[in-house]
């Protein structure tokens, strides 16, 4: 797997008897986490089960009593605290015939009790030249936003003018929000979708990258306390979007009002 040779080689060193019973696979969206899960299942010669719906303690009992081994894959993006506590019960049971992989973007998505019971495997960072090798038609603007091949491929489906619109909007917000009216400020979040794609709206997740990128550049270029405070607020917004089931639109509205007050 291009860019993840270290983990690929690590997987090849294990057998069914020596493979860790529970791991966290840490990497950004589109980094190849699920591809590596496929490699694990192939290496161990077992079936994989992707858990994409809520599970109960009864499910855990069923998993742990199956006569043949399975690889169970959980996605931290959709795990509530309640669901994590169910998985914690899973981790506390003798894991006969059970191998668990939790794919995760940032460690803050998971309870400390889960982190302490799993091995942490981190995907390597993709360098720009590696991304260009994987997606040779990528533009400089796309490369400035993407940190993984999957993100780059996703960005290639978005019109270039839409990307430039979001980039310009991020700059305008950071430079002139203090002069805008409250009604104008609160109309901005309506321009984005925060879950499934909506026609006529822009991706909030992509816009947030522009916002973070621009606020950081302002700190580097201006080196003043206002720009630094703005960057810290923007970084806080970015980090909070990883909290399971968080209302991103409400977070963004609160952020904009804090920015208005700061100005």
Structure-block tokens of residue 166 = 């979001």
Across the range 149-172, mean pLDDT stands at 94
d(CA 27, CA 60): 26
Per-residue model confidence (pLDDT) at position 64: 84
Q: What separation in angstroms does the CA of 213 have from each of 174, 208, 234?
A: 11, 8, 9
Q: Which of 48-57, 90-99, 108-117, 212-221 has the lowest mean pLDDT?
A: 90-99
d(CA 168, CA 25): 35
Share of the chain above pLDDT 70, in %: 99
Across the range 129-149, mean pLDDT stands at 93
Per-residue model confidence (pLDDT) at position 226: 82
Q: What is the pLDDT of residues 192-218, one digit of tens each?
A: 999 899 999 999 999 999 999 999 999
Distance between start and end Cα atoms, the chain: 47
- Position 254 pLDDT exceeds 90: yes
Q: What is the pLDDT of residues 204-253, one digit of tens each?
A: 999 999 999 999 999 888 767 788 899 999 999 999 998 877 899 999 99
Per-residue model confidence (pLDDT) at position 250: 96
d(CA 243, CA 143): 26
Q: What is the pLDDT of residues 170-195, one digit of tens each?
A: 999 999 998 899 999 999 999 999 98
pLDDT band at residue 132 under the 50/70/90 scheme: very high
pTM: predicted TM-score of the whole model, two decimal places: 0.81
- Position 263 pLDDT exceeds 70: no
Structure-block tokens of residue 217 = 């550049």
């Amino acid at each position: 797997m291009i860019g993840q040779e270290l983990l690929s080689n690590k997987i090849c060193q294990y057998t069914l008897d020596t493979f860790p019973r529970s791991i966290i696979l840490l990497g950004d969206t589109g980094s190849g986490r699920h591809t590596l899960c496929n490699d694990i299942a192939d290496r161990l010669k077992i079936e994989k089960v992707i858990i994409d719906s809520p599970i109960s303690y009864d499910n855990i009992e069923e998993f742990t009593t199956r006569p043949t081994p399975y690889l169970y894959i959980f996605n931290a993006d959709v795990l509530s605290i309640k669901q994590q506590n169910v998985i914690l019960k899973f981790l506390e049971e003798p894991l006969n015939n059970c191998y668990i992989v939790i794919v995760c973007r940032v460690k803050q998505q998971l309870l400390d009790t889960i982190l302490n019971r799993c091995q942490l495997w981190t995907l390597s960072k993709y360098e720009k030249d590696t991304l260009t090798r994987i997606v040779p038609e990528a533009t400089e603007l796309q490369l400035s936003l993407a940190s993984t091949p999957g993100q780059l491929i996703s960005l290639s489906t978005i019109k270039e003018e839409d990307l430039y619109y979001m980039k310009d909007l991020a700059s305008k917000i950071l430079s002139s929000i203090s002069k805008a009216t409250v009604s104008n400020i609160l109309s901005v979040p309506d321009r984005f979708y925060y879950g499934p794609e909506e026609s006529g709206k822009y991706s909030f997740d992509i816009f947030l990258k522009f916002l973070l990128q621009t606020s950081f550049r302002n700190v580097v270029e201006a080196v003043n306390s206002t720009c630094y405070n703005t960057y810290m607020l923007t970084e806080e917004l970015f980090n909070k979007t990883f909290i399971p089931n968080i209302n991103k639109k409400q977070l963004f509205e609160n952020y904009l009002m804090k920015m208005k007050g700061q100005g």
